[in-house]
Structure 1
Amino acid sequence: MRYSPYSLLILLAVSLSTAFAQTLPSPKEHFGFTIGDDYQLATYTQTEAYFRKLAAGSDRVKLVDIGMTEEGRHQLMLIVSSPENLKKLDRYKEISQKLARAENLTDEQARALANEGKAIVWIDGGIHATETVGTHQLIETIWQLVSRKDPETMRILDKDVILLTHANPDGQELVTNWYMREPKAEKRSLDNLPRLYQKYIGHDNNRDFFMLNMKETQNIGRQLFVEWIPQIMYNHHQSGPAGSVLAGPPYRDPFNYVFDPLMVTGIDALGAAMINRMNAENKPGFTRLGGSVFSTWYNGGLRTTTHFHNIIGLLTEIIGGPTPEDIPLVPKRLIPNGNTPFPVTPQKWHFKQSIDYSVSLNYAVLNYGARYSDDLLFNIYRMGKNSIERGSKDYWALSPKRIDAIEDAFKNDPKKVVPPTNAALAQYGFVPRGGGMPLKYYDTIMKAPVLRDPRGFIIPTNQPDFATAVKFLNALIRTGIQVQQATADFTVAGKKYPAGSYVVKTDQAFRPHLLDMFEPQDHPNDFQYPGGPPVRPYDAAGWTPAFLMNVKFDRILDGFDGPFKKLPIGELQSPEGHINGAPSAGYVLSAKANNSFIAVNDLLASGVEVYRLPNGVGGKSTVESGAFFVPASAKAKSLLDKSAKDLDLEITGVSKKPTASMTKVSPMRIALWDTYGGSMPSGWVRWLMEQYHFPMKVIYPKDIDAGDLRKKFDVIVFVTRAIPAVGGREEDIFAALSRGEAKEETTPEEYRPRLGKITATKSIPELKSFMEAGGTVVTIGSSTNLAYHLKLPVKNALTEMTASGQERPLPGEKYYIPGSVLRVALDSTQHATWGMPNQTDVYFDASPVFKLAPEAIAKGTVVPLAWFDSSKPLRSGWAWGQSYLQDGVAAFMAPVGSGKFYAFGPEITFRAQAQGTFKLLFNQLYTVGSAASSGNGHVADE
């Protein structure tokens, strides 16, 4: 048979098309098993190779390397859409950015862009690596999207641009290798993972998204908040509540009050699409609202930070894993209700079922995006526009404290007219027509000029720790906030500010996020029933980073302008510091600046002498107690020139050596406690030590029990949950997220030295001997339990006497403070508190508070370092019964033999966010020797 040239071309095209399709391997062809097979997991090495194969072989995929992980792996994002859309990605990204930022657009222009654009939908997996459904649903979803040709998939590809992102490559590699190490499939287990599945912070990698400290969160944050700004993001997690298959949207109250209403109803709409699809596919067990613990109050999670950027953030928590498990019988879960309309019955559950559920949920989200892409694009613009308008005029935000103020205004008015009520209806919140309070009580609060939301914030350059303020600004910048900088001196509200100061105005689309970073959170009083126990927040109740980082800023209530330039979105700031004065005799570094400790550690590592000035410098108010003095030398000059520039330090050069008593600084041999499986608080401190150049060694309970600690170390740091309570369980029950307890015989040899736990019988005596021989122990949070083991003259300040005369902790109905920001007073003349202000904000999470015994006060055997000097120390969050804190001691030092014991009840290093209290740890990490000279402390000709 003879073919025409045209027919030959058709045959060639078909042949090439067939060959092209054959280049796409299925997951089973690549991995050797079907995704969801019992007892099978893929490594990241295998997954990365598969993603690269799909990207090379499919015209529906573009692979993007978004950066390196903390362990040095490539973090990948696959962009999936139709071939035609992939050719126009730059245009669709531009549209998404324009609509999200909502600047200089009319509604008509926004509608036109929404009609032209595509819905940008983010789906991630694997952030918590032991939650293995997340990574594997991502693999299966990508395969379905690149291989299927059904009408729904084709519509999705046409109308959506899908960003499929791996959230934790390092964790997948660790977890899979651990699980698959057992050759017999039925013996494989995720239990007893030997270390954290993110190099430093493990599970807390999902608590880093407003600070973006880790490389992985920085990579993800740039894509979410600077590059793409999707309209929908979907964050896969585990595990679902017992007796259900998964928990999903919408979520329980409270939601954060800074949200636009469209955020809340947008989550509702997506949640309805998801649960409807599951019900239509006969997939029971979806619970929502009060059926789970998840809310939308907290900022800082991968899902939750998106809410503050007008991105509809979705979370599901699903059961399942490579080892089959049971859905247990929970009778109350079997009653259909608004939380769980379609209950699941008890049964054996397999990995493949969870994968199938997850793919269906993804398709529900993607189908919604395809069908309502124009609405999604317009609504993110509308939310942004609303934020710009609210930040451009006088605006009063509603919150619980405002409502309380309205009610108090009414209650305290002696001339008030009480509206008629029906007691039977009032208990349900019903108000009869014509009832309620007169409007004047609303106007008293919600029109009071002083209670307006701010129009902006000014961060001046002339503050004690400007470098830390810049770190705060860079956290804002990484999350897409528009920051401006003054090009000249300017005056606002009668106050003069220097050139270089930063300005953050609230008339921008991501106003909810920037308010959340500067302003206190006002969590409602949330109890199971009136007079009953409190309902624990999903995570923190208050966190305000500007407070915890001790940033000095002014809150401006009226519109203002000045010689300001807008900084490019996403461009980090790195101001250069200076050496001021004539450094012929030496240099003075402020103890108030965190970065001074980096410079000092670099000097010490290079053999340069460093001293501290216990009394500051007489006649120089800017040289505070504990400031560092470095004698002049060529090496010191070289290092400090670099430190000033790189660390944004203002270093003072002096022409005469201080005549004050100076104490020589020497580096300590630092040990940091950790445990088998890894402690997240310890991991955060390890990361901090590296960032601030403190040399240290991680030690484990066996190292402590081996004794001779003083020969090896000068200081040992114990983070929260290291030291057990007296008479309590002698183990760190939160050390690892794995179940069960690791055993010597089943633990690989390289990890056996990490086994063990701190015990009262063996470990505590060794720690006591260490201090008696001159060592220092620093304890944080619950590890201040060591004070009770040592029988120091302190007791728990938060107790009450029962009717029977027994002492007990205050019950939650009377006192309850979950993670919140509180203010404490300090004695800043103490060595432990050098560089600190007289008052500071601390992160407090049901933290220990102490009362000194009378003999401790009389003999001075315990030195208070920080205490609550107010009955209302709450700065941000929720503090029920906070008056119980007044006069309680938050931190103290006690001598033990020749050594020292430090107890810091608040979480002074919390998630590397509480930068305003880092110095409370850093000050204890130097040996401060005897006085080098003495005098009146004067420095001339600075």
Structure 2
Amino acid sequence: MIRYFLRPLAMLLLSLNMVWAQIPAPKQHFGFTIGDDYQLATYTQTEAYFRKLAATSDRVKLVDIGPTEEGRRQLMLVVSSPANLKKLSRYKEISQKLARAENMNDDQARALAMEGKAVVWIDGGLHATETVGTMQLIETAWQLASRKDPETMRILNDDIILLTHANPDGQEIVTNWYMREATPEKRSLDNVPRLYQKYIGHDNNRDFFIMNMKETQNIGRQLFVEWIPQIMYNHHQSGPAGSVLAGPPYRDPFNYVFDPLMVTGIDALGAAMINRLNAENKPGFTRLSGSVFSTWYNGGLRTTTHFHNMIGLLTEIIGGPTPEEVPLVPKRLIPNGATPFPVTPQKWHFRQSIDYSVSLNYAVLGYAARYRDEVLFNIYRMGKNSIERGSKDTWALSPKRIDAIAGAYDADPKKVVSPTNAALAQYGFIPKGGGMPMKYYDTIMKAPVLRDPRGFIIPANQADFATAVKFVNALIKTGIQVQQATADFTVAGKTYPAGSYVVKSDQAFRPHLLDMFEPQDHPNDFQYPGGPPVRPYDAAGWTLAYLMNVQFDRILDGFDGPFKKLPIGELQAPQGHIAEASGEGYLLSARANNSFIAVNDLLASGVEVYRLPNGTGLKSAAESGTFFVPASAKAKSLLDKSARELGIDVTSIAKRPTTTMAKVTPMRIALWDTYGGSMPSGWIRWMMEQYHFPMKVVYAQDIDAGDLRKKFDVIVFVTRAIPSMNSKDVDLYSLFGTEPKPETTPAEYQPWLGKITATKSIPQLKTFMEAGGTVVTIGSSTNLAYHLKLPVKNALTEMTTTGQEKPLPGEKYYIPGSVLQMTVDSTQQATWGLPTLTDVYFDASPVFKVSPDAIATGKVKPLAWFATGKPLRSGWAWGQSYLQDGIAAFMAPVGAGKLYAFGPEITFRAQSHGTFKLLFNQLYSSGSAAGSATNGN
């Protein structure tokens, strides 16, 4: 009898449990359908929904991948069949093994490819104002968790999908801003008051080869260490005007270190994506020359994966919660290879963009499912190719090499060219049986000294080894295999100490490895012969080892030694050393960036610190600018901690220095920012925190209010802060939309409004300097020198036929973001700690001409200049000869104060560690020590 009653009760409870566990549709949770006009979800709401999906669906596993910069939790949904989710560790192992391609032959790889599942990464929301990305992620997760159609079931069976939120903080900021208006039609994404990533905003998509930010580190670990997906899809906005979206394949150039399978893999996925949209009657996909996107750059969420043999996909789509128009762009209406199915002008709603995005996701996932074993085998094949190339003599092709081959042919006085061939060659035709003899190829492509390196050695005895370790950690975070010497060793006749790092090129991610050590050789890319240049997608050159001033040796032959392989993904901590005090105090090298952290900690604790302009005057060697700390128990305790945690070497000296000592006192630092947030300012704010410089952010209204000298000792202006003297120049503020009016701006943000002006701000800055203040300007903000009428001129001009001076045109001179080498006067306080030849990031940066008289009279003091007409180290520098003898940086006295002008981007994206000291040196006030002469400010 009891059993009779219990059975129906059990069935009722089971039924109720199924209702309670029903997978919630987005509308049930958010109160609206994803893609409804004028509706956005916050990250708080999205996180709660993702947790519900994981709790109610056996297809979804929730993974917390780490904290964000603002302390939220960054989530990744792993979506697959229930059976696959039970074996995730095995499928992750297969994905890792195939990607690394070590100790495996083709047959073994094919067996693993047959066993494994295709791993596909899909993200959204990296750029938080690009709201399609976050909303499509929610919709895609819901559809994959709930749909039961054959296509979805096949995808779940053959794929493992990593749905990753790329910027939780940004979604919260942007959605709260948009939804603050009660009336839907008044809602707008314009004029978000601050950066949608705590420090760097849009530049969060430029951080992926160094991984400074927490969100980047979280994502990078999943991409390059944990999962290493075969395909990754990065959603962005906005599409080109007159089209709905831009997608793969992309325009040339692609980076020459890539495996060709990666490039053609993008082609294949791009075909699947556009074919699906065409089959669903969704027009407006453009590709190739239809957009500006290329595959040259490293450092983006999508682009860094290319250097790891992943098929990295990017789409840029139109749309947003506020309806918009597809504008009439006549040239976009003619079908062609770039845009085979044009879209006609029309009103566009948010849901259309969501539907397009889900279709694109399904196209990618469907391709991965259909070609699962091929996708898995191909990432192995690319990795194996890299290992093989790094294990033998290899010569990389590049524009400079091709030019050298042609140059060898042209310079040969004995070459034979028939009149017919010569005539045809003028028009680019190669006649049958034509071409150059192989000896010209062999001259370059078989020259022993031009081989690719078999590896790199980073000596442990370099001046700033702690920064070198930061570089090594950047490699490790991107999955590069690094080794470390357990004892002294000798390679190619040079002896290296134990603790040195070794990075061999016979590894799967060789493209990324070479890209971090070797110079980029961007082609000369012009719209037509003699025409204007084609702007790169981002930087043209970025060699990180150069930017960080890492000392390393390229090893051309195979080598070995007492090396241990470090665990993949395990970060390194530099080992510092402090000598026991045997007398008067301690010395810290000015060449080590981390010395500034130690000094700031000492100053904050009340410990005296001095700088030595001329060394110690004793037997102990010390370069100009060395820090001296008088011995005390407190100093010893703090320095011991700094040596241990920062990896700096602290030496002791028996006697007090006999030369001039300048007492170091912290300055009251102000850093300019603006409404909406300046990314270069945000990067410096982050750097100041890392290096323990206390500072205050100021805005134009703070500058205009005056009394600056009572509040601050130094004010830092990043690029795009100080306006041009030429009223015809583009107003850089307008590039990011018009500034909001005070009456429509919330009261808490009103103090941030305004911009630096010639009429109100510049006079206050001049007064500040005349009263003894210091102003540091970077990039275009060196315009301040012209406002102050200092005796400097633009070095990059030419005279017109009418005798007028004008900037050099792009056809003659063009240097997008690249690495150049400048000569530094390292004896000056501003440049202490820098080598005489210093690599610097240069991005169409200002260069100056100073008269000999201005230098002789002390009105302008050059700090750095371009001593040659060929300063290019990495990237693209058309017409670089114009730079010769141009001043890159200078100091000029203004009353009792100083102006520092640094044309190049000395703090660029917190990547250019080699030039950080050009900022840091200006952030201390150096008075005189007791009984010693002063050495200036």
Distance across 2 between alignment mates of 1:796 and 1:270: 48
1:58 has 2:52 as partner: no
Query: Residue 579 of structure 2: SS of its match in structure 1?
Result: strand
Distance across 2 between alignment mates of 1:238 and 1:622: 56
Conserved in 2, the CA contact under 8 Å of 1:119 and 1:370? yes
2:22 is matched with 23
Residues 716-761 of structure 1, C-alpha deviation per residue, up to 9 Å, x if partnerless?
A: 0000000000133799635884x33211000000000000010000
Find the partner of 1:895 among 893, 896, 907. 893
2:546 is matched with 547
| 1:102 positional shift | 0.1
Query: Residue 732 of structure 2: SS of its match in structure 1?
Result: coil
Which amino acid in structure 2 is aligned with residue 353 of structure 1?
Answer: Q
Conserved in 2, the CA contact under 8 Å of 1:420 and 1:435? no
Cα gap change, 1:577/1:315 in structure 2, threshold over 3 Å: closer, same or farther? same
Which amino acid in structure 2 is aligned with residue 626 of structure 1?
Answer: G
1:440 is matched with 439
Distance across 2 between alignment mates of 1:621 and 1:654: 7
| 1:439 positional shift | 0.1
Superposition map of 1:814-833 within 5 A: 814-833=812-831
Cα gap change, 1:749/1:558 in structure 2, threshold over 3 Å: closer, same or farther? same
2:805 is matched with 807
1:183 has 2:182 as partner: yes
Conserved in 2, the CA contact under 8 Å of 1:732 and 1:757? no
| 1:616 positional shift | 1.3
Cα gap change, 1:165/1:724 in structure 2, threshold over 3 Å: closer, same or farther? same
Superposition map of 1:176-325 within 5 A: 176-325=175-324
Which amino acid in structure 1 is aligned with residue 910 of structure 2?
Answer: A
Conserved in 1, the CA contact under 8 Å of 2:597 and 2:691? yes
Find the partner of 2:774 among 734, 753, 776. 776
Query: Residue 635 of structure 1: SS of its match in structure 2?
Result: helix
Conserved in 2, the CA contact under 8 Å of 1:869 and 1:887? yes
Which amino acid in structure 1 is aligned with residue 444 of structure 2?
Answer: I
1:716 is matched with 715
Residues 490-514 of structure 1, C-alpha deviation per residue, up to 9 Å, x if partnerless?
A: 0000000000100000000000001
Distance across 2 between alignment mates of 1:736 and 1:421: 53
Conserved in 1, the CA contact under 8 Å of 2:618 and 2:657? no
Which amino acid in structure 2 is aligned with residue 166 of structure 1?
Answer: H
Unaligned runs of 5+ in 2: none
Residues 266-307 of structure 1, C-alpha deviation per residue, up to 9 Å, x if partnerless?
A: 000000000000000000000000000000000000000000
Distance across 2 between alignment mates of 1:421 and 1:486: 60
Distance across 2 between alignment mates of 1:893 and 1:758: 21
Moved more, 285-294 or 648-657: 648-657
Unaligned runs of 5+ in 1: 938-942
Which amino acid in structure 1 is aligned with residue 813 of structure 2?
Answer: Y
1:46 is matched with 45
2:530 is matched with 531
Distance across 2 between alignment mates of 1:129 and 1:646: 35
Conserved in 1, the CA contact under 8 Å of 2:617 and 2:658? no
1:682 has 2:681 as partner: yes
1:851 has 2:849 as partner: yes
1:841 is matched with 839
| 1:582 positional shift | 3.6
Distance across 1 between alignment mates of 2:730 and 2:630: 47
Conserved in 2, the CA contact under 8 Å of 1:849 and 1:905? yes
1:753 is matched with 751
Find the partner of 2:868 among 850, 867, 870. 870
Distance across 2 between alignment mates of 1:530 and 1:211: 36
Conserved in 2, the CA contact under 8 Å of 1:661 and 1:932? no
Superposition map of 1:632-781 within 5 A: 632-728=631-727, 733-734=732-733, 737=736, 739-781=737-779
Distance across 2 between alignment mates of 1:804 and 1:332: 38
Distance across 1 between alignment mates of 2:368 and 2:17: 29
Which amino acid in structure 2 is aligned with residue 354 of structure 1?
Answer: S
Distance across 1 between alignment mates of 2:729 and 2:72: 37
Moved more, 610-619 or 564-573: 610-619
| 1:250 positional shift | 0.2
1:77 is matched with 76
Distance across 2 between alignment mates of 1:266 and 1:621: 59
2:104 is matched with 105
Distance across 1 between alignment mates of 2:908 and 2:379: 33
1:787 is matched with 785
Conserved in 2, the CA contact under 8 Å of 1:662 and 1:933? no
| 1:859 positional shift | 1.4
Distance across 1 between alignment mates of 2:851 and 2:419: 54
Distance across 1 between alignment mates of 2:730 and 2:198: 23
| 1:433 positional shift | 1.4
| 1:576 positional shift | 2.0
Query: Residue 439 of structure 2: SS of its match in structure 1?
Result: helix
Distance across 1 between alignment mates of 2:711 and 2:813: 42
Superposition map of 1:585-604 within 5 A: 585-604=584-603
Cα gap change, 1:180/1:731 in structure 2, threshold over 3 Å: closer, same or farther? farther
Using the size of structure 2 for normalisation, the TM-score is 0.98
Conserved in 1, the CA contact under 8 Å of 2:661 and 2:933? no
Which amino acid in structure 2 is aligned with residue 106 of structure 1?
Answer: N
Which amino acid in structure 2 is aligned with residue 85 of structure 1?
Answer: N
Residues 424-460 of structure 1, C-alpha deviation per residue, up to 9 Å, x if partnerless?
A: 8646633111100000000000000000000000000
Distance across 1 between alignment mates of 2:477 and 2:602: 31
Distance across 1 between alignment mates of 2:9 and 2:264: 53
Distance across 1 between alignment mates of 2:155 and 2:191: 41
Conserved in 2, the CA contact under 8 Å of 1:730 and 1:759? no
Distance across 1 between alignment mates of 2:729 and 2:714: 22
Distance across 2 between alignment mates of 1:641 and 1:530: 61
1:483 is matched with 482
Distance across 1 between alignment mates of 2:428 and 2:133: 42
Distance across 1 between alignment mates of 2:159 and 2:731: 46
Superposition map of 1:913-928 within 5 A: 913-928=911-926
Distance across 2 between alignment mates of 1:671 and 1:689: 11
1:560 is matched with 559
Distance across 1 between alignment mates of 2:422 and 2:735: 52
Query: Residue 63 of structure 1: SS of its match in structure 2?
Result: strand
Which amino acid in structure 2 is aligned with residue 102 of structure 1?
Answer: A
Distance across 2 between alignment mates of 1:192 and 1:18: 46
| 1:805 positional shift | 1.1
Conserved in 1, the CA contact under 8 Å of 2:386 and 2:507? yes
Cα gap change, 1:783/1:936 in structure 2, threshold over 3 Å: closer, same or farther? closer
Query: Residue 531 of structure 2: SS of its match in structure 1?
Result: coil
Conserved in 2, the CA contact under 8 Å of 1:659 and 1:936? no
Query: Residue 373 of structure 2: SS of its match in structure 1?
Result: helix
Distance across 2 between alignment mates of 1:252 and 1:276: 19
1:411 is matched with 410
2:130 is matched with 131
Residues 395-436 of structure 1, C-alpha deviation per residue, up to 9 Å, x if partnerless?
A: 000000000000010011111122565578646633111100
Distance across 2 between alignment mates of 1:391 and 1:46: 48
1:940 is matched with none
Query: Residue 49 of structure 1: SS of its match in structure 2?
Result: helix
Query: Residue 404 of structure 1: SS of its match in structure 2?
Result: helix
Query: Residue 821 of structure 2: SS of its match in structure 1?
Result: strand
2:154 is matched with 155
Cα gap change, 1:860/1:257 in structure 2, threshold over 3 Å: closer, same or farther? same
Residues 133-188 of structure 1, C-alpha deviation per residue, up to 9 Å, x if partnerless?
A: 00000000000000100000000000000000000000000000000000000000
Identity %: 83
Distance across 2 between alignment mates of 1:936 and 1:15: 85
Which amino acid in structure 2 is aligned with residue 405 of structure 1?
Answer: A
Cα gap change, 1:32/1:617 in structure 2, threshold over 3 Å: closer, same or farther? same
Distance across 1 between alignment mates of 2:292 and 2:5: 67
| 1:619 positional shift | 5.7
| 1:932 positional shift | 3.7
Cα gap change, 1:59/1:427 in structure 2, threshold over 3 Å: closer, same or farther? farther
Superposition map of 1:598-613 within 5 A: 598-613=597-612
Moved more, 530-539 or 847-856: 847-856
Which amino acid in structure 2 is aligned with residue 646 of structure 1?
Answer: E
2:139 is matched with 140
Query: Residue 908 of structure 1: SS of its match in structure 2?
Result: coil
| 1:618 positional shift | 3.6
| 1:15 positional shift | 3.5
